[in-house]
Chains A and B, each alone.
Chain A
């Protein structure tokens, strides 16, 4: 019984078989298929043309200035943590505020049920939802806005 390879198998083998070892091992099967299938012959020829052309690209060497600058940046960079430079009392205050806010949110939202309309929701609960949404928006947009501001500032500084 002869096993026939599908076009998909042959395409995979061609991609796999960079050193042609596999094709040598499965030789007759692949060669038979390639002889009878123009589509796979085209695939194999295109694949080798792509490899040849991409392999012939001469990539430029890194600019000396970039190499020097990157090494300097690496050694001058100080490991930064978000809490660096903050006094201990600020950290404690932030932790306390986080806990208090969490408790306030839990209490304010405890009475809210899915059946309630907006008019029935207590003012504290609306305030809590507002705080949640505001925090989510700040967390989401702050990095993007900060980056935009920084890049605008550095662009204006570097302008003559």
Chain B
């Protein structure tokens, strides 16, 4: 069994979850997943393997770069192949709740809350940088310094991006707040 095989067997679910959380739909997530592992394989075959204990960060860094490249390519294509009309259609489709996003299903198999669905859709609409930081923080549970290392950003930038992402998500939550304002925020108990 090669080093790559060990890496692949151990981290496949993590990389896939990361790709799903970063992508708008399952197709994009699969592309990102494949691109990440192909880049990882190339790196392993040229001797740039991760150091012991750093495999996850190494793979996430590859995935984050692949995601960045994917978004950049899409932007260029949209501009120069006059796909604006198409993207408008896509954006409209994105606005429909639950567009091929991972279903918020609870352990008991029942549907998740509307708020969760709303947050998932809002997450898919975050700008790329903010989305990467938010996913690494809230879904992968990494610390600011780890995120900064993975994304190659200063820690202060990571904090700022996370702050912006949370602010955007809060705006999306507005519809779920009690109508009476000013009142306790969502999740806060009324006394």
Using a CB–CB distance below 8 Å, which chain A residues touch chain B? 11-12, 15-16, 38, 41-63, 66-67, 69-71, 73-75, 77, 79, 141, 144, 147-148
Contact = CB atoms under 8 A, between A and B. Distances in A.
Contacts of B185: 41-46
A45 B188 contact: yes
A74 B41 contact: yes
B162 A50 contact: no
Given A41-B185, A59-B20, A141 B80 contact: yes
B187 A73 contact: no
B91 interface: no
Interface of B: 4-5, 8, 12-13, 16-17, 20-21, 30, 33-34, 37-38, 40-42, 45, 76-77, 80-81, 102-107, 112-113, 115-116, 119-120, 123, 138-139, 144, 159, 162-163, 166, 169-170, 173, 182, 184-188
A144 B116 contact: no
Contacts of B139: 54-55, 57, 59
Given A15-B159, A46-B185, A49-B186, A61 B113 contact: no
A58 B102 contact: yes
A56 B135 CA distance: 13
Contacts of A144: 76-77, 80-81
Given A56-B112, A144-B77, A46 B38 contact: no
B112 to A, nearest CB: 7
Given A54-B138, A57-B104, A41 B80 contact: no
